[in-house]
Each structure stands twice: as C-alpha cells, then as structure tokens.
Amino acid sequence: MNKPHLLVEISSLLEKMKLPTDLSSFITDTNFKALLEVFRSIKAFSHELSTDLPAATSSHTLHLLRKLKSAYSLSASQLLSLLSQLVAEILPDKTKAWENFSTAVALHPESQWSIIQLLLTYDQEDTISFLLAHLEKEDPHALYPTSMYRTSSGKVNSTADGKHIEAVMTTSTMTEIQIIEGVLHPDNLILRNLYYPLGKCVCVIDANVHEHYGEELVAYFEKHDITLKMLVYRAMEVDKGIHTVESLLADFKEIGVSRQEPVLIVGGGVITDIGGLACALYHRGTPYVMLATSIVSGIDAGPSPRTCCDGFGFKNLFGAYHAPVLTLTDRTFFKTLRTGWIRHGVAEIIKMATVKDATLFELLEETGVDLVYSQFGVDTEDTHLSDNSQRILALSMQSYVEAEYGNLYETHQCRPHAYGHTWSPGYEIPSGMLHGHAVSCGMGFGAYLSYLQGWISREECDRICQLISKFELSLWHPILDDTTLIYKGQLKIIEKRGGHLVAPLPKGRIGECGYLNTLSFEALKEAMEGYKTLCQTYPREGLGIEPHCHEVGLEDPSTVGHSLKDNATLQKA
C-alpha cells in the first residue's frame, strides 16, 4: 500500500531540508516553515488520523504526529527531538544526521526558545505575523496549547436576550502505553527523549522503590545530562490519604513544576494513585508519566485515568480523572517484589480475564502459580513460562485499556473492569486486607451471584473460584460474615455509581460481562451464606495466603486513623 498524502508530504519536506549548525538558517528554511503548517493542520485528536494511515504505520509514528500538532509552541529542543524520532520511523537512513543535529541544537543558547519566538526573531516576513494572528482565532490549540496532550471544544447556544445559555463541551486526551524491558538501561532512550529537551525531570518515587532503584535512576539521568529533582515518598496503604496529596502539592509548588512538563511517577499502585491525583490538582491538570514497578500499577492503576486517595475509612473516596500521558510497564522491576505483593497483583489480571478475555483466562489456567513464584517470569530459565508471562501482561493491559479508555470520565457504569470492586471498598480497609485479596473475595462472590442468577453454569463458577484459589488468593475472609458492613459498602458504591448498583459479573460465559443492578439486604445475606459454604470446599477453606497487609511487611490500614485532619501517619522520606 502506498503511503497516504500526509506522510508523503512530510517525508518529502524532511528530505529536502538541509541541517546547518546555524539555528537561524534552519528556522527560516522555507521547507521548515511548510513542515510547520503541515503539522499544524493535522487533526491530532481525531480517530480519522489513525484510520487514514496505512496499517503498517507504527503506533509510535501516530503518537509523534499527534504531538507535532503543537510544533509552533514547542521549544527548538523539543521539536528537534520529536522530529528525530519521526525521521527514525519514516526515513531511517536519515536518522543519524537528524539525531546529531538535534543534539547540537540542544546545546544552542536559544534551544529553549519556542518556535514562535524564533520565527519572530529570525524571520521578519509579514506573513509570519499574519499567520500567528490568524491562528490565535482559528487554531489556538496549535499556537498556545496549555499541554500538547489535551484539547477541548464546545458549542454554546443562547436566547436572543442572553438570559438562557446552553453549552455542550468535549475534551480529548491522548496517552501512550508500552510494555517494555530495561527502561533504565542507558541505551534505552524513551525517558531521555522525553526529558532531555526539557532539561529537567521532576520525579515522584516510592521510598521502597527508591531503595532498590534510586541509584540506577540517578545514573540514567546523569548519563543523559538531565537535571533530576527527586521527591521520595513512603507509599504504603496507610499513606494513601489526602495529607500525602497535600504534601506533594507543596513540593510541586516549591520546585516550580510547569504545566507542560510531565512529572515522572515511579512505583506501585499507591504512589500511582496519590501522585496522579496531585498532578490532576496542580495547575488543574499537570501531565505525568507513569513508570510502573508493580503488577497493580503496571496493568491497572498505572494507565488508569482514575487518580484517587482514601477518605473517611473508605477506599478511593476522593479523586479526579487524569490519565498519564505515558505508561511504561517493565516487568524487570518485579524481581525485587515480595511474593505476596506479586500474588495480590495477579487479582487484577484475573478480573480482566473473567469478564473480558477468555484467552487470557485460559492462559492463566495453563501458567498457574509459577507466574507468582518466578517473579512474573523474570526469575526463571523456562522460556515458555517467561513468554507466557509477557503474553499475560500484554493481554491484561489490552483488555483493561479497551474497557477503560472508551469511558474515560466514567460517564456510564457499564464498566467490566470494576468486577470484584463492588463490595470490596467497604471491607478492604477494616479487614486489613491487601487490595488484591479484597478484590478476589469480591470476584468469587460475584461469580457465585452470577451462578445464582443463572448467568453462568456451576461449572463455570467453579472454574473462576478454582483459578482464584490456584493463585493462592482469597475467596473468603471472616469479615464477610458481617453482612451489615457489606451492605453498607453496597449503599456507598450505589452513591458513587450515580444511584445504580450495576455490579459487573461474568455473564453468558467466561470472558463476557453483564451487570446486576438489584440486590436487597436479605438476598445479599442469603447469597453470602451460600457462598461461604461453597468456599469451605476449596483449599484452606477459601482463605488466601498472606492476605493481610501486615503479613507482607505493610502497616495494617485497619489500625490507622483516616481522619482528614490527621497527618500523623504521613512519613515523607
């Protein structure tokens, strides 16, 4: 298939351009100015952009084109970095020359000037001033974007006297997700390409991760001559409160985090949630990059647009919708995780397999608990196990993103990825359970409810429960005997879901989802009693291995006060 006109035109202009060491000559090159207009005219946030490109076009090329929509507003260093990456994708024989030129420009005193500033300084043609004046009205997102990662539009209608005004508003956000290994190896340029043109990186990192990888992170940024400003935070479940978010906001203010420079968040699910929420609040939306070091952050919390923290003893009560601009999941970080942390992370994968992807479910059945004890295939010489581990990561990420990103702002509640999360928020904190074990109890109970509804067979219910048990996760916990507590949690989740229970359950067969919207207290109590009897037929009578936070070296959230005014639990490293 021939390349479409867009890539043909871009390729042609890039090939024609000469790469002088003089920045002014480059800026005033007529081919360069034509290229800027091609980028500016790209409908960066449209679905048509991806469908108009040939199937062989890489997703990275597409993402670069979306970013280059903001070419006028970028610094020379940022623009040349993006152009070098684009050349590597579409004109690989020109890659070295463009990389050398990009590096040379980065050393130029005016490399941090915006392209607009450089054009007005070095190109005195009236056409440039006229163009910029035109864009201020016709395409302000291309000229002065707050962030290259978001755009918005709206339609306003009003009566003639202006006393009644109605508006419909939309927002588009772009993100990129990569499952990759060796992110901190000096030859891996993903983080370098993002932060080198900016000159600095503000990094929020989990204290435990910092202990294992702090030196490696510092060495990476030093190698690439990027100033690293690191904020090290303890990020246990008990720290997942608004007080930690407030502390992060104070640090952002002191450092002077810019609204167009993505914060780098490194760690597991807790630091992901609270760091992402701090970014959502700071400047009403500061971009961030998620470098996931755990399974929960790697395939669930990391790419999720739902940033949050706990409040008043309830999981994730406060939050904002703010997706990362880039998520990197690198399973080599899993080698330093405790077995219990890996085990509870697998619950989020079982969740997606049960209601979204039957192939993933079968792969989990085939692989078994060796997935946990091999540190997710990192600590093994079994290539089949290692390959299965990578495939499991990829399938779970794909299923999660398909479910999540089509409903970015949770404007409806048909959300399969909430399976297991209907009743668990009410009992997770008071039970002291790890999140994954609380969710696995919810999944087992959900499978039993689905069987009672006649949505799945008893055999399929048993397959789901057997898979949970096979991975040594919890089907049962004594707190489930407190039906009143469980029902209170159900009422709270109904508030959160806009007045609907809409509990996702497997329906039809494993790998497909339906929604239960009515469950009375009496029906809940009766179902829970039957579920307890079922759990007693499983190994350990349904109890999980190391289900509690304190059993895997974490503080017990059930013993710590969660008042908004109580900052005593905060321990900033």
CATH number for position 478: 1.20.1090.10
Residue 84 DSSP one-character state: H
Specify the pairing of strand 326-329 against strand 176-179: parallel
One-letter amino acid at 311 equals G
| 309, 394 Cβ separation under 8 angstroms | no
pLDDT at 49: 83
pLDDT at 406: 85
pLDDT at 315: 81
Nearest residue to 150 via CA among 249, 259, 59, 253? 259
438 located within any domain: yes
What is the DSSP annotation of 103-147? HHHHTSTTTTSBHHHHHHHH---HHHHHHHHHHHHH-HHHHS-S-
299 located within any domain: yes
pTM, full prediction: 0.88
Residue 181 CB neighbours (<10 A): 13
Tens-digit pLDDT profile for residues 339-362: 999 999 999 999 999 999 999 999
Write down the H helix ranges in 5-139: 5-16, 23-27, 30-40, 48-52, 59-68, 76-90, 95-106, 115-122, 126-138
Tens-digit pLDDT profile for residues 228-265: 999 999 998 889 999 999 999 999 999 999 988 999 99
Tens-digit pLDDT profile for residues 56-96: 788 889 999 999 999 999 999 999 999 999 999 999 999 99
| Residue that terminates a domain, selected from 285, 316, 338 | 338
pLDDT at 564: 40
CA geometry: angle at 207 spanning 202 and 209, to 5°?
A: 90
Altogether, the residues listed in the chain come to a count of 573
CA distances from 235 to 92, 157, 159 (A): 43, 47, 52
What is the spatial distance between Cα 262 and Cα 198, in angstroms, rounded to a whole number?
Answer: 10
pLDDT at 554: 86
318 located within any domain: yes
Report how many domains make up the chain: 3
Q: Region 453-469: what's the mean pLDDT? A: 98
Same domain, 53 and 181: no
364 located within any domain: no
Nearest residue to 382 via CA among 391, 393, 398, 371? 371
| 217, 191 Cβ separation under 8 angstroms | no
One-letter amino acid at 479 equals I
Q: In CATH, what number is assigned to the domain containing residue 182?
A: 3.40.50.1970
Tens-digit pLDDT profile for residues 93-105: 999 999 999 988 8
Same domain, 50 and 181: no
Same domain, 418 and 499: yes
Q: What is the mean pLDDT of the chain?
A: 91
Same domain, 317 and 441: no
| Residue that terminates a domain, selected from 307, 338, 369 | 338
Least confident residue range of 28-37, 40-49, 537-546: 40-49
Same domain, 144 and 286: no
Residue 301 DSSP one-character state: I
Q: Region 273-286: what's the mean pLDDT? A: 96
What is the spatial distance between Cα 287 and Cα 289, in angstroms, rounded to a whole number?
Answer: 7
Confidence of residue 560 (pLDDT cuts 50, 70, 90): low
Task: Read off the tokens for 216.
Answer: 């490696």
512 located within any domain: yes
Same domain, 138 and 180: no
Residue 145 CB neighbours (<10 A): 18
484 located within any domain: yes
Same domain, 181 and 310: yes
Same domain, 447 and 494: yes
Confidence of residue 130 (pLDDT cuts 50, 70, 90): confident
What is the spatial distance between Cα 432 and Cα 423, in angstroms, rounded to a whole number?
Answer: 15
Same domain, 237 and 301: yes
Same domain, 61 and 204: no
Host domain of residue 475: 381-552
371 located within any domain: no
H/E segment holding residue 507: strand 503-507
Tens-digit pLDDT profile for residues 105-127: 888 889 999 999 999 888 877 67
Task: Read off the tokens for 57.
Answer: 């076009």
Torsional sign, CA 301, 304, 309, 315: negative
105 located within any domain: yes
Task: Read off the tokens for 518.
Answer: 């009515």
What is the spatial distance between Cα 273 and Cα 280, in angstroms, rounded to a whole number?
Answer: 10
Contact partners, residue 395, CB within 8 Å, separation at least 6 = 352, 353, 357, 359, 360, 363
| Residue that terminates a domain, selected from 338, 365, 393 | 338
pLDDT at 485: 96
Same domain, 298 and 424: no
pLDDT at 319: 94
CA distances from 153 to 72, 146, 150, 323, 571 (A): 20, 14, 11, 19, 42
Same domain, 183 and 331: yes
Matching residue, tokens 């190698």:
223
